[in-house]
Structure 1
Amino acid sequence: MEHLYKDILSSPGLLIEQVCGHLFAAVGPDGPALVVADLDRQWKTSHPGRVGYWLDPNKRLVERVCDRLDDGDDPLIMKVKGGCVAACQLATERVHCGYLLVFLEGYAPETAEANLQLFELIFAQAEAACELIEKNNQLHHLKLVHLSREAKTP
């Protein structure tokens, strides 16, 4: 049973789902469009109606961004149709979770580059959220293991 709890609560898939919920809740309707991609490059967005504009011209854009991040280009700022994308890898001490892309509508890459420290701060907050969510999952795992062991004791 302990292995089942560990598999469920430490899976990158669960972690990325929880991260999406946390990050997307923090972005208002007029805020930047966030895209969170998992390790398989499957992605979700905070603004489904707006991301098609910059993703439609190139269906492999998310994959290309993730590949560049994997190659060490992290953080990444890249020009796309209608603006630019700032992106980073999301990881904790224990697991690589996925990728965060922020679509900056109307931004020129030079403007984004000039504000790189601000984006790095945002990315650090996203990684801190990943760390906290993972730690919370570890605590749930330990509690479930403890409860499971107590249930077996007569």
Structure 2
Amino acid sequence: MRVKSLHIVLSALAILALTSSLALARGGMGGGQGGQGSCPGMGGGWGQLSPEKQAAFQKLHDAFAAKTAQLRADLGVKMAELNALSVAATPDQAKIDAVTKQIGDLQAKLLSERTQFRIQVSKEVGAGVAGGGCPGMGGYHGGGCQ
């Protein structure tokens, strides 16, 4: 009889643990819904544009993305190289320093291109449109939600 009671209590505790973990489950950091409105509370910039302005922004964005594609790819390669150097059995600090400098140079070039893109968007589409990290915030992936 005592064993049967123990099984009932353990089963009840297991069910309680399972249901409470499901009740407390939630999305990870960010919690965005994805897509154009993935930055809760940050909408407005993109949605306030006329279809013509949206098309103009998209054209500028596509040109920016094409212009910086190789730069972003090179940056990804250097980041992977830095990671490999950092976790090597015997890390070579001189190589790590050299790759770190190369990454900094690539990031500086990308920031310069991004700044030029934002200036161009401000002139041609409107101020504040390229200011955030999501289309709903009014910008390219410059920060915020990505």
State the TM-score, normalizing by the size of structure 2. 0.35
Which structure is higher in RCO with an 8 Å CA cutoff and minimum separation 6?
2
Question: Per residue, is there more strand in 1 or in 2?
Answer: 1
Question: Per residue, is there more helix in 1 or in 2?
Answer: 2
